[in-house]
Structure 1
């Protein structure tokens, strides 16, 4: 049993000498901007005409689950990775995204 525990813990360790690549990845993730995603005409063409004509993707969100979805310090703006994902999806579809809480 002790051997199994040792092997499991060894699998969780890192031999990284601190090259800083993790910091770069974290920094890149923190600066992700879903508005830089281009519309994909092929995917957008699959939308029902009524949705494409409306031009808005309305997303419901319970903004009490940081960091997934929560309200920014301004007290009104929904933010988080779920909100970013919805905005990225809207960008691909060529739709404006409205997050409702």
Structure 2
């Protein structure tokens, strides 16, 4: 019985504490150094253009929530750049990588 409680605690810990963004992008001097997850081409183009005009370092993470998408930035990304990226983020056109079964 104790092992069931330990397994349940491990699963709850994994669901709550582990960082699981659907998109993670790292920037260095305004250029995209690395990305992980689905990065729509138009959004990538817009972010690259923002980085060319105002170079910055940092990281962008996109999380999917029930109410929509949440963008989080590292502290190195200036507030003006954060707002410009939020303005070009495709909220309606952004697709997650999870494949859910369609009911119909």
TM over 0.5: no
Higher strand share: 2
Higher helix share: 1
Q: Name the structure, 1 or 2, with higher relative contact order (CA <8 Å, separation 6+).
A: 1
TM, length-normalised to structure 2: 0.28
Higher Rg: 1
